[in-house]
Structure 1
């Protein structure tokens, strides 16, 4: 794309005044006023022809692969070309990113091209992208701009900041390890065989290995330990209800933060973790991974769980999830519901899921409804709001009660305590050997 620069516009405006005066003073020689315009057009043509070099232009973007919500990061634009030297660049980005000091500027000359350093701030969780790059340069006379729009593909995973809650979770894990470090290896705990030891008075008879005892001529007992390769599935609902804000942050973001926190602890504990995101249909599904080194992959897949305005289809999502599980798993579902009618299909699907798997529902307390229900009745409208809010809270408790009757575990925690509450329950499940 070629278009005139500001210098060409001012030159054309400056030549218009003498041309008007010539036409006014010498009407018969009015065509002399066109000499400046013709001369300017000639310079524009020469400038446009000399400034070409789009075929040799190559540009790239260097940006980090992931960044935390609210964090700033730097990115570099590098252009390599053989023709133009002084060039400008501007990058296109989505709404998840905001430029700190502009999204473009002049390229600093380097060997064979130029570079530009910019800073952006990550505003919202998700997968942000730089989708295109504009590069322009002037001709030798500075009268025209030669502009090229280059498609680029640079994605950045904007992740929630779990550093503050991670310290608390690690503290809980350390306390559980110190308190149960010996108990986890105690005879009779767990289902995974660990070792043989001499039978001691007080041990249960079921622990005696009769075949090996007969072979060695003395009583030997089997020692078990809690399994460390349990399968943990983090299922996150990103439907319409989960996109409502709680204290200024969408519920799905708080759910993702809690899920990442529990994934970090589970991977540290030797369990296998997989991520599953859904709304009207399954959206994100990661394979089961093991080991702390794979936590970065779980973070990147969590960034792909986007906001949705569609109603959640629990039947399709949970049926699909159950079909993919080939062993008993702990299925942790982060979701929300309003009343028993909207949750009826979910309850039917959960009843089939709990037959084989251990299901845990993570819910956030509806502080807004609780505040309306406890509001002092200063007027008739306050009384009406309190009655409606109280009714909705009672219907919510009805759904929670039905979930527990179906065999599912339910945690209804404050939004600021969702992650630590989940870690505590996960450690409790391991201690009680329910996984």
Structure 2
């Protein structure tokens, strides 16, 4: 394939600066007008020669993974094999891609020579901002001659799809792995004894034990005090329900709230699977979107991950009445339902409150929402101008209204978790373990 020859920005600047000089020559010595076109032709010849000695492209490669996680760095490598190249000159590359991989959809990189061969390479780091399947669409390569006046350029279409999965870095974190091994929360590593509802064994009563655990009949038979050791129930049903509507698609620290919620839910789901419980995901917007079966083994965790990746972004308001009624009809036994949602005003939250009220009559409900850091910043801003003062008053009013809605949920018997996005995962795990220890699900 023949590669086009193009002038560089340096050549364009030289031509632009030479134009006034040509005009001065034509005005001062009309007989010497031929100098200007001759100089232009000479510059064009130099540009072509410079591009010709820039070298020949023998091959190129764009190396990128087929899978990545939202919010986590994605490394793309561009390589070009150039031969018969004169010394000097730059080699640059540009990529066009789906905006899910990075805002703007384009990235540029300067390639550097690899010692010992004719390969030039450069690395581009992207940060995916939404889940789904994204594509690398095109690559451009341009390499200049030693004078930097002429360059060769090529464009090639790419057919490289990248699946963007939910962020599982909290699941892999050493903190969570240590958490799972912690003896204090032994319902992950071993059975919890002394709490729960299922009888496990009898042990001699020791000072400091809860006196309510004393088995008086067994103590009378053995003439010594014995206490009951119970095991927390397993095989509980845990449902993570996601509001995929407009409010949850708003960004918080660079990623949509729904993606923050999905990451927290999958972290808690992994702990629940380790604890012997069964987990399901449910997503809804104007109508229910996904509803997975219940999975009860850690080897099935990838199915939950795939289902979470399929949760789409919707600009419409969620229909809580239809969604929670559909969810309730699917649950044949008492379950723990964790609802991830957000709201912007108390009027819009009324329908949500009514629907959650009907759900809490038969199930244990947790409501999880991400604290609005922008609202807090507006409240705390110094009122040094009238605009700042007005925004602070409005933010304070919205915060009070938000607090009233959450208080109403608590009064209905719903556990509410409101925390910054980087803490809701562990707050949710704490709440799950507390519920499991108390046996409140079954």
What interval of TM-score do these two structures reach, taking the shorter chain for normalisation? Answer: 0.5 to 0.7
Count of residues in correspondence between the two structures: 328
Partner of 1:257: 263
Equivalent residue for 2:286?
280
Q: Report the equivalent of 1:127.
A: 132
State the SS of the aligned residue for 1:343: helix
Structure-2 residue corresponding to 1:32: none
Query: Compared with structure 1, are the counterparts of its residues 394 and 415 closer, same or farther at alpha carbon in structure 2 (3 Å cutoff)?
Result: same
TM-superposed CA distance for 1:330, in Å, is 1.1
C-alpha distance in structure 1 between counterparts of 2:368 and 2:96, whole Å: 38
Cα distance between partner residues in 2 of 1:378 and 1:131: 47
Task: Please report how far the alpha carbon of residue 206 of structure 1 lies from its aligned counterpart in structure 2 after TM superposition.
Answer: 6.8
What do residues 210-259 of structure 1 show as CA deviations (whole Å, max 9, x unaligned)?
xxx99xxx999875310121111111112111111112221111111111
Equivalence for 1:42: none
User: Within 1, Cα distance between the matches of 2:330 and 2:379?
Assistant: 42
Q: 1:342 is paired with a residue of what secondary structure?
A: helix
Asked if residue 322 in structure 1 is aligned to residue 328 in structure 2, the reply is: yes
* Residue in structure 2 matched with residue 68 of structure 1 by the alignment: 69
Q: Quick one: distance in 2 between partners of 1:99 and 1:387? A: 40
Question: Hey, what's the Cα distance between the residues in 2 that align with 1:227 and 1:207?
Answer: 24
Aligned to 1:384: 390
Equivalent residue in structure 2 for 1:96, among 86, 97, 100: 100
Cα distance in 2, alignment partners of residues 203 and 371 from structure 1 = 48
Cα distance in 2, alignment partners of residues 247 and 321 from structure 1:
31
Structure 1 residue 199: Cα displacement? 8.4
Task: Give the deviation of 1:164 after TM superposition.
Answer: 7.3
* TM-score normalised by L of structure 1: 0.64
CA distance in 2, matches of 1:233, 1:426: 12
2:68–2:162 CA contact under 8 A, matched in 1: no
Distance 1:248 1:155 in 2: 20
Q: Distance in 2 between matches of 1:249 and 1:284?
A: 21
Q: Which residue of 2 aligns with 1:420?
A: 426
Mapped contact 1:276–1:284 kept (Cα < 8 A): yes
Q: How does 1:31-430 map to 2 (within 5 A)?
A: 66-69=67-70, 70-72=72-74, 94-97=98-101, 123-128=128-133, 156-163=163-170, 166-175=173-182, 177=184, 184-186=192-194, 189-195=195-201, 197=202, 223-430=229-436
Q: Look up the SS of the partner of 2:391 in the other structure.
A: helix
The change in CA–CA distance for 1:275 and 1:208 in structure 2 (over 3 A counts) is farther
Paired residues of 1:99 and 1:119 also in contact (CA < 8 A): no
Residues of 2 paired with 1:131 and 1:73: CA distance?
A: 13
Contact 2:128 2:164 in 1 (8 A): no
Q: CA RMSD in A?
A: 4.2
Distance 1:164 1:296 in 2: 12
In terms of mean alpha carbon deviation, does 120-129 or 272-281 score higher? 120-129
The Cα shift of 1:425 comes to 1.6
SS of the residue aligned with 2:281? strand
Going from structure 1 to structure 2, the CA distance change for 1:290 and 1:74 (only over 3 Å counts) comes to: farther
**Alignment CA distance shift 1:284-1:132 (3 Å):** farther
Segments of structure 1 that go 5 or more residues without pairing to the other structure are: 8-61, 76-90, 103-117, 134-148
Question: CA contact under 8 A between 1:99 and 1:120: conserved in structure 2?
Answer: no
**Structure 2: gaps (5+ residues):** 4-62, 78-94, 110-122, 139-156
Question: Segments of 4+ in structure 1 off by > 4 A?
Answer: 62-65, 91-94, 97-102, 118-122, 129-133, 152-155, 178-183, 197-209, 218-223
Q: 1:167 to 1:182 in 2, by over 3 A?
A: closer
Shift of 1:71: 4.3
8 Å Cα contact 2:241/2:339 also seen in 1: yes
* Counterparts of 1:264 and 1:386, CA distance in 2: 40
| Secondary structure of the structure 1 residue equivalent to 2:408 | helix
